[in-house]
Structure 1
């Protein structure tokens, strides 16, 4: 795997954050939306094990892979999914204990904070508001209707543009290989967390050579306090 370790500590001006499984436990809301679309379409029921693998990856791809459908059908399913999340299931998400305190400390230290998520941008904002975390972020970037198949690296770049920064000014915190690959594509350092839905252990994240691997919000707080 490529390395996502690039610059020495103390260099960073901003921290970019994944949302699903990193800032908040959004699984219950995502599960509800997948099941809603599956029933609406009359597709085979999704088992719990499969559902847990669908938190974080690009939504269109998830529908295509799970149900064996075309990209056009996947895009249609993603619109139905996000409409349901926007109206109902975003409310099922919870911020991880200690996350608000961690973000407050980083803001107090002068860091710029941004969300870069493959979640729909409107849903991301509503989810963060429900979890009372939106107040800590200088920008919140997600998938927009005009760029439904955007990649993680595209959304990271948009966040950097909003902050008027370059990839050398920031690092990314995330819980999956999609985050790690986005960081690698942007040549940005990456901090992995294993308490979410993507990486289940340090062994899963190790091949990406992250700056650090955290198994809890407390450990992440301890590491980020050294930056």
Structure 2
């Protein structure tokens, strides 16, 4: 039976207001131009340190920007977020076959846990895997390797479901099946070029894909 790993941002929840406003806050505090929130959606999903470096140019300033981001995110931005409509039904349908389910997100685990708890999604998942505040396991391939080891799941019998290229490449590097979802923040081109095995226009489409995989020899 296949084990399902779900990304968080752009897959289970829509975090755009919280993430973009916290990026704006950090850039403003550092005295940098503040882009419109619609021009910041490319930052949703990938590790934020690398995204901030695109704006500020150095690791040192990117680290400071991330500190400022978290200053607002931990109490305000974290809750400027919403669960995608119908995601509860999709998760229940995926779980109906009895398969194991986990969250695997580049977001720090301390925040991911609070988001999952806030939206009462924890009952669907055995565990939430996330990065550490110091950046450990922010890389999706590293995170998934760690999660597979901790759960003792055979990667050949595991699927990663996410909306960005790093979800797909992380899965493929670990020998997992990669399902790209198109309702989040990754484009069709991004997910295709990354090598997604399957693409889903809406999250209910994940269910039949998982059913087919579960029935594979």
1:158 maps to 146
Q: Choose from 44, 57, 68 the match for 1:69.
A: 57
Deviation string for 1:111-168 (max 9, x for gaps)?
1111111111111111122222122111111110243473111111222233222322
1:16–1:114: 8 Å Cα contact kept in structure 2?
A: yes
1:4 maps to none
RMSD: 1.8
Q: In the comparison of the two structures, how many residue pairs are matched? A: 213
Deviation string for 1:23-48 (max 9, x for gaps)?
11011110121111112212111123
> What is the deviation of 1:79?
2.7
1:129 aligns with 2:117: yes
Aligned equivalents of 1:76, 1:68: Cα separation in 2 = 10
Distance change (3 Å), C-alpha of 1:54 and 1:146: closer
Aligned equivalents of 2:96, 2:71: Cα separation in 1 = 36
Q: When the two structures are superposed, what TM-score results if normalisation uses the length of structure 2?
A: 0.90
Secondary structure of the equivalent of 1:111?
A: coil
2:203 maps to 217
Distance change (3 Å), C-alpha of 1:24 and 1:208: same
Gaps of 5+ in 1: 1-10
2:193 maps to 207
Aligned equivalents of 1:152, 1:135: Cα separation in 2 = 24
Q: How does 1:1-227 map onto structure 2 within 5 Å?
A: 11-12=1-2, 14-65=3-54, 67-148=55-136, 150-199=138-187, 201=188, 203-227=189-213
1:56–1:118: 8 Å Cα contact kept in structure 2?
A: yes
Gaps of 5+ in 2: none
* Greater RCO (Cα-Cα under 8 Å, separation 6 or more): 1
> What is the deviation of 1:176?
0.9
1:75–1:148: 8 Å Cα contact kept in structure 2?
A: no
Secondary structure of the equivalent of 1:110?
A: coil
Aligned equivalents of 2:154, 2:112: Cα separation in 1 = 23
Aligned equivalents of 1:76, 1:134: Cα separation in 2 = 32
Aligned equivalents of 2:26, 2:136: Cα separation in 1 = 17
Aligned equivalents of 1:104, 1:181: Cα separation in 2 = 27
Q: When the two structures are superposed, what TM-score results if normalisation uses the length of structure 1?
A: 0.86
